[in-house]
Structure 1
């Protein structure tokens, strides 16, 4: 991709009283994909539905399905074949990756009678990431599987005692959860960075078209992250990198140098970055729509040295977990367009990896004040 010259950050920005980066970095190598940590809202609509319905549904399913599963098992040509199918499901479920579960449902286990259960597990994983389009796709896969316990068994737990199926329950709770997220997004917003704050401009190539985004930074509230971001921008670090992870209605993630290295395969995307991390910086900034936040490995307190994400929804379950250090002040329509980029099918190592053309940052630069 074409490379543009990157101007050095405005000296006035460098003279801000940021804390020294040397006191906040640890020499930790990236070994796993750096991803946005997912934590579900306490007592969300989905959780309440699970609390209310899942236990009786599970007990009923176990009681009524034991003979069905045993019969299917006996009809299998060999015991090894049945064991292999469930091993595929268990392996996919252990990862917790919704894309892997969908791959199991739509490819590895297609036509086995087990695919519906893989899709059921995928619904939960997609919902945890607030990927409602993915969750509804998984519900559709459940319905397509024709698994009797999931699609035909009517349970008297609908509104006013109306009978419904597990697939029907999932549709209703997912819709309610999405509505709740939208309502929360309107309640919690950030004040924009004060006038005179540093602004980074990004040009993103999408299939030969240039999309432009401007990000104002919270230099006073998140000095370590802002100092590091400006430093990398000034070095041209982000030029040529891709937005390698897109979850529609949630966020777009970028900043991994592996994505511009032709010797690195797609399977390494999300694992790259400088060999240091940044201490988390708190405050009252929240994850409303169009904020710039730092990515980090799950279960780690420190942020990635380079990877970031821009929210396309309002994932307030990330508040206090990831550091918000900027806001989109121009180019919201460009962010929306990137949010709609198609992702690869899971059988092609897709983990919300964009399909071609992959959005690529051709230029990141500090705006002259």
Structure 2
């Protein structure tokens, strides 16, 4: 008679422990910007090294004082590596591209990089539209690693996307008024 009770209890216990596991696999980060807050949910299961890298910068308070330096309406907003004078900030060594399997859809967050697939450091971007051309295809089209998505504050992202932009030195699509990341914090 006790056997069914034990069997019934084991799945119940497994279910009860899932939220704790989910919290580690899906950490949340709030980006406090001069335009408002953006909350991100990260996917450590799909892109563990990329999430670890991003959280390292968050924990070091690296993003405070950086700006969204590249804004292209209908495409994406990019930030996390330059200050208001567009001076690049010193970063850790680049990380290897991860094939997270998550498409570059509207509201997803991906790592920015150079033409070298294994060159991502601190810069990230938020997709304003579904950008299928940025997804992994093959070795010749490696795409960009998506590692999370916006869970609140997409209206802030959209407002940033409407900011007037221009050239600043060699950089194009720079907001005329700096949009600053005031801080980035893990949420419990």
The TM-score with structure 2 as length reference comes to: 0.79
CA distance in 2, matches of 1:225, 1:284: 13
**2:22 equivalent to 1:202:** no
Give the ranges of 4+ consecutive aligned residues of structure 1 lying more than 6 Å apart after TM superposition.
none
Residue of structure 2 equivalent to 1:338:
160
Deviations 1:89-125 (CA, angstroms, capped at 9, x unpaired):
xxxxxxxxxxxxxxxxxxxxxxxxxxxxxxxxxxxxx
Count matched residues: 160
Deviations 1:17-40 (CA, angstroms, capped at 9, x unpaired):
xxxxxxxxxxxxxxxxxxxxxxxx
Residue of structure 1 equivalent to 2:172:
351
CA distance in 1, matches of 2:155, 2:106: 12
Q: Which has the larger radius of gyration?
A: 1
Question: Relative CO higher for 1 or 2, CA cutoff 8 Å, sep ≥ 6?
Answer: 2
RMSD of aligned residue pairs (Cα, Å):
1.9
Contact 2:78 2:125 in 1 (8 A): yes
Contact 1:291 1:310 in 2 (8 A): yes
Residue of structure 2 equivalent to 1:259:
83
Contact 2:100 2:147 in 1 (8 A): no
Contact 2:66 2:79 in 1 (8 A): yes
**2:177 equivalent to 1:360:** no
Structure 1 pair 225–351 and aligned structure 2 pair: CA distance change class (3 A): same
Contact 2:96 2:120 in 1 (8 A): no
Among residues 134, 148, 152, which one is paired with 1:318 in the alignment?
Answer: 134
Deviations 1:241-263 (CA, angstroms, capped at 9, x unpaired):
1001101110000111x415xxx
1:360 deviates by 0.5
CA distance in 1, matches of 2:162, 2:146: 23
Deviations 1:273-301 (CA, angstroms, capped at 9, x unpaired):
41410111103210000101000002x02
Contact 1:343 1:350 in 2 (8 A): no
Which structure has the highest helix share of the two? 1
Give the secondary structure class of the aligned counterpart of 1:242: strand
Residue of structure 1 equivalent to 2:52:
227
1:240 deviates by 1.0
Residue of structure 1 equivalent to 2:114:
297
Among residues 69, 92, 99, which one is paired with 1:244 in the alignment?
Answer: 69
Residue of structure 1 equivalent to 2:37:
212
1:318 deviates by 0.5
CA distance in 2, matches of 1:355, 1:305: 25
1:272 deviates by 4.1
Contact 1:201 1:366 in 2 (8 A): yes
1:350 deviates by 5.0
